[in-house]
Amino acid sequence: MSFDLLVPAPRSATTATGSFLLRPGTGLDGEPHLTRIVRRLLGMDLPDSATGEVSVRVAPGEPESYRLAVSEQGIEIEAGDEAGVRHAVQTLRQLIGPQAYRVAGKKEVGVPCGEVIDRPAVEWRGGMLDVARHFLTKRTVLKYVDLLAMHRMNRLHLHLTDDQGWRIESRSFPEISRLATHRPETIVGHLYDGRGYDGIPHGGYYTLDDLAEISAYARERGIIVVPEIDLPGHTSALLAAFPELGTGEIGVQRAWGVKSATIKPVPRSVKRVCELLDELLEVIDTPYVHLGGDECVTRDWVGDPEIAAHRESLGLATEGELHGWFLREVAAHLATRGKRAVMWDEAYQTGGTLPDTIVMGWRGDAIAQRAAADGFDVVRAPIYPTYLDYDQSELGSEPVTIGGPITLADAASFDVTPDAWPAGERAGVLGGQWQAWGEYIPHERHLDYMTFPRACAIAEALWSGRPADYDDLVRRLSGGHLARLEAAGCEYRPLAGPHPWQESGTGGRARSASGMRWSLEQRREWSSSIPESAVADEPEAF
Ligand code: ACM
Q: Looking at the CA of residue 294, tell me the nearest atom of ligand 1.
A: 3
Residues with CB under 6 A from ligand 1: 294-295, 344, 362
Q: Looking at the CA of residue 360, tell me the nearest atom of ligand 1.
A: 4
**If DSSP codes are grouped into helix, strand and coil, which group holds residue 334?**
helix
Q: Which amino acid type is present at position 104?
A: A
Residue 226 contacts residue 289 (beta carbons within 8 Å)? yes
Q: Looking at the CA of residue 295, tell me the nearest atom of ligand 1.
A: 3
Q: Active-site residue 333, yes or no?
A: no
Residue nearest to atom 3 of ligand 1 (CA): 294
**If DSSP codes are grouped into helix, strand and coil, which group holds residue 2?**
coil
Q: Looking at the CA of residue 234, tell me the nearest atom of ligand 1.
A: 3
Strand ranges inside 260-349, DSSP E: 262-263, 288-292, 296-297, 340-344
Bond from prior residue into 112 cis (ω within 30 degrees of 0): no
Testing ligand 1's pocket by substitution, the residue of 256, 362, 433 carrying the most ligand atoms inside 8 A of its CB is 362
Strand ranges inside 50-122, DSSP E: 54-58, 66-71, 74-79, 109-118
Residue nearest to atom 2 of ligand 1 (CA): 362
Instruction: Choose among 251, 248, 272: nearest CA to 262.
Output: 248
pLDDT for residue 40: 95
Compute the C-alpha angle 200/448/286, nearest 5°.
Answer: 95
* Distance in Å, CA 520 to ligand 1 centroid: 21
Q: Looking at the CA of residue 437, tell me the nearest atom of ligand 1.
A: 2
Q: Looking at the CA of residue 344, tell me the nearest atom of ligand 1.
A: 4
* Distance in Å, CA 186 to ligand 1 centroid: 20
* Distance in Å, CA 456 to ligand 1 centroid: 22
* Distance in Å, CA 210 to ligand 1 centroid: 26
For 81-102, b/e burial (b = at least 16 CB within 10 A) is: bebbbbbbbbbbbbbbbbbbbe
Task: Enumerate helices (H) and strands (E) in the chain, giving the number of each.
Answer: 19, 24
Testing ligand 1's pocket by substitution, the residue of 231, 344, 359 carrying the most ligand atoms inside 8 A of its CB is 344
The set of long-range contacts for 244-252, using a CB threshold of 8 Å and a minimum separation of 24, is: 245/269, 245/272, 247/300, 247/301, 247/304, 247/307, 248/297, 248/299, 248/300, 248/539, 249/539, 252/163, 252/164, 252/165, 252/179, 252/180, 252/181, 252/182, 252/183, 252/203
Cβ neighbours around 272 below 10 Å, total: 18
pLDDT for residue 393: 96
Please give the model's pTM, rounded to 2 decimal places.
Answer: 0.98
Residue nearest to atom 1 of ligand 1 (CA): 294
One of 151, 157, 202, 234 is an active-site residue; which one? 234
Instruction: Choose among 356, 389, 387, 206: nearest CA to 289.
Output: 356
One of 53, 146, 169, 295 is an active-site residue; which one? 295
* Distance in Å, CA 434 to ligand 1 centroid: 12
* Distance in Å, CA 101 to ligand 1 centroid: 33
Q: Tens digit of pLDDT per residue, the chain (542 long)?
A: 899 999 999 999 999 999 999 999 999 999 999 999 999 999 999 999 999 999 999 999 999 999 999 999 999 999 999 999 999 999 999 999 999 999 888 889 999 999 999 999 999 999 999 999 999 999 999 999 999 999 999 999 999 999 999 999 999 999 999 999 999 999 999 988 899 999 999 999 999 999 999 999 999 999 999 999 999 999 999 999 999 999 999 999 999 999 999 999 999 999 999 999 999 999 999 999 999 999 999 999 999 999 999 999 999 999 999 999 999 999 999 999 999 999 999 999 999 999 999 999 999 999 999 999 999 999 999 999 999 999 999 999 999 999 989 999 999 999 999 999 999 999 999 999 999 999 999 999 999 999 999 999 999 999 999 999 999 999 999 999 999 999 999 999 999 999 999 999 999 999 987 777 888 888 888 888 888 889 988 887 55
Find all residues with CB under 8 Å of 145, minimum gap 6, and list them.
156, 214, 217, 218, 221, 223
pLDDT for residue 533: 87
One of 29, 162, 321, 439 is an active-site residue; which one? 162
For 385-411, b/e burial (b = at least 16 CB within 10 A) is: bbbbbbbbbeeeebbbbbbbbbbbbbb
Instruction: Choose among 385, 460, 467, 456: nearest CA to 420.
Output: 467
pLDDT for residue 542: 53
* Distance in Å, CA 71 to ligand 1 centroid: 48
Cβ neighbours around 522 below 10 Å, total: 12
Q: Which amino acid type is present at position 406?
A: I
**If DSSP codes are grouped into helix, strand and coil, which group holds residue 510?**
coil
Instruction: Choose among 507, 512, 504: nearest CA to 403.
Output: 512
* Distance in Å, CA 505 to ligand 1 centroid: 28
C-alpha to C-alpha distance for 474 and 479, rounded to whole angstroms = 8
Q: Active-site residue 162, yes or no?
A: yes
Q: First and final CA of the chain: distance in angstroms? A: 44
Q: Looking at the CA of residue 435, tell me the nearest atom of ligand 1.
A: 2
Torsion of Cα atoms, 397 then 401 then 405 then 409, to 10°? -80
* Distance in Å, CA 319 to ligand 1 centroid: 20
- In terms of DSSP bridges, do strands 182-183 and 202-203 run parallel, antiparallel, or are they unpaired? antiparallel
* Distance in Å, CA 294 to ligand 1 centroid: 6
Q: How many residues does the chain have?
A: 542
Testing ligand 1's pocket by substitution, the residue of 294, 384, 402 carrying the most ligand atoms inside 8 A of its CB is 294
Q: Active-site residue 33, yes or no?
A: no
Testing ligand 1's pocket by substitution, the residue of 161, 258, 295 carrying the most ligand atoms inside 8 A of its CB is 295
- In terms of DSSP bridges, do strands 403-404 and 358-361 run parallel, antiparallel, or are they unpaired? unpaired
Q: Looking at the CA of residue 381, tell me the nearest atom of ligand 1.
A: 4
